[in-house]
């Protein structure tokens, strides 16, 4: 859809014709179009598009993008759009606004809608409470199945999901759950209390969003109930929420593994200053760590001056150690993120990686031996290089396998142990091993 054509129609005062051009656009394409229009063009189109369609489009955007878009509408129009959105999606957008902007929009909304959002915003965004939606179907245990089906039909248009109906007492305490399938096959005159499942997997509102994602994936649920400290049902987390969580967490891990802090917004929307700030801190830290390598080379300068040939193999050896460490860190951090391993599995992880590492070390030692011989090196230098390859690879495997698990144990994000940091540490320690082995093999003082 040509944005220029839309603008021409709006400028000519024919917003209705412009709206007809975008009427058939799916929400995702409409969202992309809205981002490219100016505030006056949005104001002209909004009455013709409608708050409900605009809400569907805004919900397709990343919360930071949605926040930038929604403030370009009038306050009343923005409030209408937020009211049409699912509460959890609307809360994510409001979370991205400045405090004064958020309060101004909330004051324009219906009191009940605004209160609902304020309750969601009271929880940190990366918790179950921050991710849940309060739009669910709950029912009393003494209601019949037939009456429950009528209730579901009435509430379905506003509920996030109707596949699970939660059973609560008069005070809202979660008693059980019944699936839509269970209701369909149950006798109409049976009570909900007779067909419900009393053992319900639930999440406290303060639980981390990754825990919610893991539970949903492990049990193949479509939704999970979220409760307060007294067991009262507050909301539900659905499978689409989990998809967003997994994408966010995977993105953060990848950015950290690359030696950068997470952007927290789409790449093309990030400012140059923001990109600089996210990267320079890590680069300075890696630079400081890299000075260890310079210090090692300086301390062994006499050895390198006496046997210059040893310098030829430094890039190969430390590069090999760094690559091995990078591979293992990526694998272990991902396993931690998925819940496949924990600190209690440290020995199992270490044993596996050391066994694999020793096998790789032998292969790399042979490769180093062949390379040294083809360069015409003396046998003692060849032997030193080959032995160093074995020690460096095994050491790199040890460090990369254990460090993420230890950091996770003490409450730090294991993704912080990025591949560049592991490479830098292995470079320095690998050089110490290599040059000490060379001294021993060559009989140098």
List pLDDT tens digits, range 126-180. 788 888 888 888 889 998 999 989 888 888 777 777 888 899 998 989 999 998 8
User: Which of 107-111, 275-279, 430-434 bottoms out in mean pLDDT, i.e. has the lowest?
Assistant: 275-279
pLDDT category of residue 40 using cuts at 50, 70 and 90:
confident
Q: What are the b/e assignments for 194-211, b being 16+ CB within 10 Å? A: ebbeeebebbebebebbb
Please tell me what DSSP assigns to residue 144.
B
Spatial separation of the C-alpha atoms in residues 26 and 349, rounded to whole Å: 47
Instruction: Give residue 65's pLDDT.
Output: 85
Spatial separation of the C-alpha atoms in residues 268 and 278, rounded to whole Å: 14
Mean pLDDT calculated for residue range 284-299: 64
- The tally of CA atoms less than 13 A away on the side-chain side of residue 384 is 26
List pLDDT tens digits, range 79-120. 888 888 888 888 888 888 888 888 888 888 888 888 888 888
Give the closest residue to 323 by CA, choosing from 195, 442, 427: 427
List pLDDT tens digits, range 335-388. 887 678 888 888 999 999 999 999 999 999 999 899 888 888 888 888 988 999
Q: Check pLDDT > 60 for residue 241.
A: yes
Spatial separation of the C-alpha atoms in residues 397 and 300, rounded to whole Å: 25
List pLDDT tens digits, range 177-206. 998 888 889 898 999 989 999 888 898 988
Percentage above 90 pLDDT, the chain = 13
Mean pLDDT of the chain: 81
pLDDT category of residue 233 using cuts at 50, 70 and 90:
very high
Q: Check pLDDT > 50 for residue 267.
A: no
List domains and CATH numbers for the chain: 3-122 (1.25.60.10), 138-236 (3.10.580.10), 267-442 (1.10.357.20)
CA angle 205, 208, 214 (to 5 degrees): 110
């Amino acid at each position: 859809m040509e944005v220029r054509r839309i603008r021409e129609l709006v400028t000519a005062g024919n917003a209705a014709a412009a709206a007809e051009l975008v009427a058939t656009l799916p929400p995702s394409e409409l969202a992309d179009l809205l981002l490219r229009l100016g505030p006056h063009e949005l104001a002209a189109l909004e009455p013709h598009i409608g708050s409900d369609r605009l809400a569907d489009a805004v919900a397709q955007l990343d919360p930071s993008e949605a926040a930038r878009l929604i403030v370009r509408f009038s306050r009343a129009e923005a409030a209408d759009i937020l009211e049409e959105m699912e509460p959890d999606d609307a809360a994510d957008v409001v979370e991205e606004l400045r405090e004064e902007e958020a309060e101004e929009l909330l004051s324009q909304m219906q009191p009940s809608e605004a209160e609902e959002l304020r309750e969601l915003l009271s929880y940190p965004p990366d918790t179950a409470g921050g991710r849940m939606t309060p739009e669910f179907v709950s029912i009393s245990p003494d209601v019949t199945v037939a009456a429950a089906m009528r209730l579901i039909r009435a509430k379905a248009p506003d509920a996030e999901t109707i596949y699970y109906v939660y059973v609560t007492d008069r005070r809202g305490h979660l008693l059980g759950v019944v699936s839509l399938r269970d209701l369909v096959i149950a006798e109409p005159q049976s009570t909900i209390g007779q067909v419900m499942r009393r053992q319900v997997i639930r999440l406290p509102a303060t639980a981390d969003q990754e825990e919610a994602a893991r539970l949903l994936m492990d049990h193949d649920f479509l939704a999970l109930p979220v409760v307060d400290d007294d067991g009262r049902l507050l909301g539900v987390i659905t499978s689409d929420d989990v998809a967003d969580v997994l994408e966010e967490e995977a993105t953060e891990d990848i950015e950290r593994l690359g030696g950068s802090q997470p952007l927290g917004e789409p790449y093309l929307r990030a400012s140059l200053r923001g990109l600089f700030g996210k990267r320079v801190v890590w680069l300075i830290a890696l630079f400081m760590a890299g000075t260890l390598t310079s210090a090692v080379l300086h301390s062994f300068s006499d050895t390198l001056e006496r046997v210059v040939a040893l310098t030829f193999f430094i890039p190969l050896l430390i590069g090999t150690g760094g690559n091995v460490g990078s591979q293992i860190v990526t694998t272990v951090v991902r396993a931690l993120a998925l819940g496949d391993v924990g600190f209690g599995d440290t020995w199992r992880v270490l044993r596996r990686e050391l066994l694999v590492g020793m096998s790789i070390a032998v292969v790399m030692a042979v490769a180093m031996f062949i390379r040294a011989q083809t360069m015409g090196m003396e046998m003692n230098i060849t032997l030193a290089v080959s032995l160093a390859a074995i020690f460096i690879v095994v050491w790199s495997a040890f460090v990369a396998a254990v460090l993420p698990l230890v950091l996770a144990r003490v409450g730090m994000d294991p993704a912080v142990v990025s591949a560049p940091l592991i490479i830098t540490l292995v470079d320095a320690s690998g050089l110490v091993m290599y040059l000490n082995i060379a001294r021993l093999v060559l009989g140098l003082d």
